[in-house]
Structure 1
């Protein structure tokens, strides 16, 4: 759902991240040197505090801060199919940041995908989602960013291949894939449901990962939220529209909320890019917002599934051999934590039996977990999560394929056998 969630489209985040809580604003006339000013110092302090929450919830820091670098100073490289892009400085520095931006400039970037000078922003900055953000939320984030320490560091130029370095080409892209407009509440739904829809569809920009993209770097809108392989990260963001993957329709709301807030629940745990989202962002959201998101996620209707990622099929005979070999590997390496019957010991050790993420058409995620291991996010409610050790050095490509095949086809799971070639491809894939 965020962070390098953010990599799911073809370009870079170019300005601030999402807003998550409506904020009362005193009006657009109270400006001082381009800075949003509330009616009183107390009002301004409250606005900044709200904006900090929104910026944290929108995970601004994940894209606009290099590890070990100055907060919000940008410079994070983002590899895309079209070249490498670098996130900008969004501190209130007058020379290199947004120090000379007004709140109108900031809202225009969020709402229309245009920079202060009117130039088109690349869609890695998720303005296709952020256009739904309310003006009040945008103003609150702006007020907060204006309050942080300025950093006098220039934004690094993008390194895009021709013709993708021609911004004018974005006019055609926007015609095909961008529809401007703030979120409109559905009057037939509850306030909580609408809040969840606002967070998921707009502010959370979850569709950037959970929707497949086409060759133009645009979302496959006919299969929105139906899952997709995140380019160059080699993680699969599962479908939110199907209970066969992560539709969550048969989950208890509490389990969904636990997963979003802590990274673990009785139904499973998050790893990879989603673990970073929980660690950097979702754990800081209010219980009310988390429950609203869970309420909405339970109701996302079935839709056409996304194009299936490449799945190298094995013959029935070879699949049977892998299944038999995988049973022994599982007993030797996995059963201690996940149990012989695959039920695990949740939430510390998630169940593998009847686990949707194990059975999806794409086997990318379970293969990567066996190869590289990982941890759920460390959160306030779960500060010392149990991790999964890597087996890349201990198991061959065939052995990894065997144990993943066994997990996907045992205890009533309905997955298919995986190919050692697919394991080989993922073994050499970058981890970030």
Structure 2
């Protein structure tokens, strides 16, 4: 068994690369099944967010190159381009990496809580695809436990620091009084929900939620006294929007330069603050070229995020220690599990030999054999049979000069010089 964690994230790849490596929800099941079918992967899961795309894999033998090649071919990238941005973690490091990710220690926003839910979704999709087995399943459960302990035992998640919070903080720097502003939110997922909550708490005058389905937009809008519209209604809403924050799973841009230009004319060039949190991007990059538009992507939020992270730095060290212990404990339990099959086979073999000798003894007793003689023969026969295979193997190893194996056998059978019976010469 061997674990791999490989992929790209906000530290290693630009938003342009990340959006080309991202998986849509509709692609995941097929991608997982294809990954297991075309590589040496026995179990697999994929985590794909705006800041990272990662593959978690269990294999018989480590084969990271084959997986990277599959990933490049799946997304029609050159292998060299992908390798320039990719990272690979193996075995213990892979386990630790997964736990760090789930705990928010590897996020753009240190300690952000959304990633744990996204990790749980990745696990659920892999189960649906049939690519989660006992080993990766155990690793995910250990990962969730480690992340929960980090949340419970440290202060890493106490302050409202997230990409959503950073976006609203940046809006406050541009508009001194958010209470006089109107906001257009595009999407209805977790990130937009957080944005809506922060804007509502800041007293934003009017919030509009635009989504592909009106039902989801309405559910979110009701929570914060907002107004729900369809994506098709965005051009009309733009002219009244001071703040536009977008985070959808669309594969194509939702807002183009032309639509924003038209809105600016109607606004008489009153500035619009825009944040595109989506990967792939929802807002065409050319929109940022327009006067009176302040366009930011997730990569532009680094500075704001860093300012809001100071209160979490102290807790991060304690969280790292918890993750390290969790990874070590998991590997110890995994090594213990590796012995279970060997022990089961050894027990079955021993019980078969025992039953053979017992049946032989019962036949002797049934034929009138002396009970003491039968018991002695049973003991001798069972001892000889139990020792036969180990004796043959130890002699063979000794003849081959395998002193390491002999030393291991001495440890395995708890032997030492004091336990051997030395007859007088």
Higher strand residue share: 2
Q: Same fold (TM over 0.5)?
A: no
Q: What TM-score do the two structures reach when normalised by structure 1?
A: 0.25
Return the TM-score normalized by structure 2: 0.25
Q: Which has the larger radius of gyration?
A: 2
| Structure with the largest fraction of helix | 2
